[in-house]
Amino acid sequence: MRVLDAVGHALGVAGTMTWEITWSLILGFTLAAVIQALVRRETITRLLGDDKPKTLARATLLGAASSSCSYAAVALARSLFRKGASFTAAMVFEIASTNLVIELGIILALLISWQFTLAEFIGGPIMIVLVAVAFRIFVRQQLIDAAREQAGKGLAGSMEGHAAMDMSIQSGGSFWRRLASREGYTSVSHIFVMEWASVIRDIVIGLLIAGAVGAWVPGSFWRHLFLTGHPLAAKLWGPLIGPVISLLSFVCSIGNVPLAGVLWNGGISFGGVVSFIFADLIIIPILIIYRKYYGTKMMLAILGIFYAAMVIAGYIIEFLFSALGLIPAERAAKVTEQGIQWNYTTILNIIFLLLAAGFLVRFFRSGGGPMLRMMGGSPDAEHNRHAEQHG
């Protein structure tokens, strides 16, 4: 019975967190789908040909607009690199498309606090600048050429078909005219459902891990791990250990936010949470994909540069927000077993679940079903099949 009680407690915590964030996830993915529907893929590739500051700023904005799960973002960055984008611009695009996105900001504010949303959107550009500078200083052209040769082999990683699909609105006209058209509604529904399909695994795993950790791991363990009895040491240790926990958790995309809430309640520093969230791009499965895409040497370079940038960005955010008095005084992330209650969350969930149902119906009625089977596999094959389908 004790085992069943423990499992029930963990599922209860995971269920409560799921209920708390459902409407915000749907809202975030809807807004992201609208933006992606209006940004054409060929435009992105054309604008990212070098690593000048202006180009990297453009890569950041386009990445934020092209919100993706971590696996799809990594695949899309490789696709851009193969089509002529500079390696640094592709990496910047990848970072922005998983860390500077609407749905992540909404869920951070709802599950932990708005200060973390602000930290994410300030820390993200800081990390991008650090990564760009590090690539320019430490990565030689010979290594980039070798990576381009390896990328050209087209070895499959994960979510290749999804990354190859351009579901943006192809017709002309103004923003609102394109969006309000029948093609606009179809495009938004396709992107909405496909984005959900690509991240649902990570969200579910993240919630289950966060539920289990929140229910089973005693607070004393976290207090010892995060050095909560030594304030300065805790601030210095948090950004160092945060990415390591992320790397070992195998959870990426916005699926790591519930676990971030558990870590925050457990005593990790503010900067430690930020560096933990950034580290969704260096979890072990994605490191294996980098090795396939770019070779072992470039994979190690990405790991080292990304980790260092995450740590430094975590430190900057920690001490900047501390100086400004923006670090929350309470550790009150919503990681409890409260169950479903009749309140504003329930009302919003009902409204947004109906919206999601409308997108789902439109997706299947407009022939989107086969796209779900095209999400994996060879990037080149999937791209060609999708081009034929929409040609």
- DSSP characters over 96-126: HHHHS-HHHHHHHHHHT-HHHHHHHHHHHHH
Instruction: Write the pLDDT tens digit of every residue in 102-154.
Output: 888 888 998 899 999 999 999 999 999 999 999 999 999 999 999 999 988 87
Closest to 90 (Cα-Cα) out of 121, 150, 132: 132
How much of the chain is helix, strand and coil, in % rounded to 5?
80, 0, 20
The pLDDT score that the predictor gives to residue 33 is 81
Cα separation, 154 vs 236, whole angstroms: 41
Q: Which long-range contacts (CB under 8 A, 24 or more apart) does 295-300 make?
A: 295/146, 295/147, 295/150, 297/143, 297/146, 298/139, 298/143, 298/144, 298/146, 298/147, 298/150
Question: Could you say which residues of the chain have pLDDT below 70?
Answer: 1-3, 41, 67-68, 156-167, 171-172, 174-175, 335-340, 375-391
Whose CA is closest to 222, among 207, 237, 206?
Answer: 237
What are 318-345's pLDDT values in tens digits? 999 999 999 999 988 876 656 667 777 7
